[in-house]
Amino acid sequence: MAAKSKSEEAIELMRINGELTSKALAEVGKAVAPGVTTKELNRVAETFIRDHGAIPNFLGYEGYPAAICASVNDVVVHGFPSDYVLKEGDIVSIDLGTSYKGYNGDSAYTFPVGEVSAETRKLLDVTKASLYKGIEKAVAGNRTGDIGHAVQSYAESFGFSVVRELEGHGIGRDMHEDPGVPNYGRQGHGAKLEEGMTICIEPMICAGGRGVYLARNGWAVHTSDHRNAAHFELTVVVRHGKAEQLSTFDYIEKDSTIKF
Ligand code: MF3
Ligand code: CO
């Protein structure tokens, strides 16, 4: 199915989902600390989402068993919340979304647990900055390859590598819609971006090589060299001139109690 622009009414509902998703991520961020299990983070997210009248859209998605993905260190994405106890120096990528009035939110943030190494700090900063480089290209008339190229060239300029097996996506009534939004690519290639399209951009960047493998549970994606990977995701509306963000990290980064 070809990607379609959304009506402003649909975008307004997407905006509500984006707000809820952003606030839920910040709630989880407040709970991230050494000694906390990733299951506990799942409980925080699910409670917050349901208390706000929304549904955690990951739960049950193609059989996914939780409200969030909690991907620690070498897990790139889709880590199951578990009894794993976070420890100082870990990083944990939290990916979550909401379903509200038939539309979806979807965003991710990689949190440091206590103090992390300088190299890990750099990985987090570069991955997040690469997402904003991508968002700058999410304007009407560009193509998905412009986004991918911007993410890739930025991340690789620091010696990091880009996971190719997974990509961003359109979003709306379904969490995953057309077009796919790869984090690598060639300028001027790929699907055309049109005003009103709602897409998720989500770079997954590795400290080492870009090779990954799927865990035996069929979900968790690990780096083959077991070095760290980071993942940041926002939902935006393609506009003429400048994309409009539907989700934001402001609730995380403006809260002085959250380490980011
Ligand atoms: N949020 C993921 C994405 O960005 C999707 C998670 S799939 C789920 O595309 F099954 F874990 F929900
Ligand atoms: Co996504």
Helix axes 118-136 and 144-156, enclosed angle (nearest 10):
160
Q: What is the CATH number of domain 8-253?
A: 3.90.230.10
Query: Which atom of ligand 1 is the closest one to the Cα of 169?
Result: 9
The amino acid occupying position 185 is G
pTM over 0.85: yes
pLDDT bracket for residue 4 (50, 70, 90): confident
Confidence of residue 192 (pLDDT cuts 50, 70, 90): very high
Distance from C-alpha of 116 to C-alpha of 121, rounded to nearest angstrom: 6
Backbone angles phi, psi at 161, to 5 degrees: -125, 155
Give residue limits of the domains in the chain. 8-253
Per-residue pLDDT reduced to its tens digit, 42-61: 999 999 999 999 999 999 99
Cα 114 to middle of ligand 1, angstroms: 26
What is the pLDDT, as a whole number, of residue 3? 75
Q: Ligand 1: residues whose CB is within 6 Å?
A: 58, 61-62, 64, 69, 78, 95, 97, 106, 169, 200, 202, 233
Average predicted confidence (pLDDT) for the chain? 98
Tell me the CA–centroid distance for residue 89 and ligand 2, in Å. Answer: 26
258: CA distance to ligand 2 center in Å?
Answer: 23
Sign of CA dihedral 173, 135, 78, 31: negative
What's the gap in Å between 178 CA and the centre of ligand 2? 12
Q: What pLDDT shows up at residue 36?
A: 98
The count of residues in the chain is 260
Average pLDDT of span 171-179: 98
Return the best residue to mutate from 28, 77, 163, 246 for the ligand 1 pocket (most ligand atoms within 8 A of CB). Answer: 77
In this structure, what token pair is assigned to residue 13? Answer: 């509902």
Is 235's pLDDT higher than 90? yes
Dist. CA 36–CA 18, nearest whole Å: 26
Q: What 3-state class would DSSP assign to 81?
A: coil
Q: What is the pLDDT of residues 131-164, one digit of tens each?
A: 999 999 999 999 999 999 999 999 999 999 999 9
Residue nearest to atom 12 of ligand 1 (CA): 58
Tell me how far CA of residue 145 lies from CA of 124, 150, 151, 192, in angstroms: 23, 8, 10, 9
CA 55 – ligand 1 centroid, Å: 14
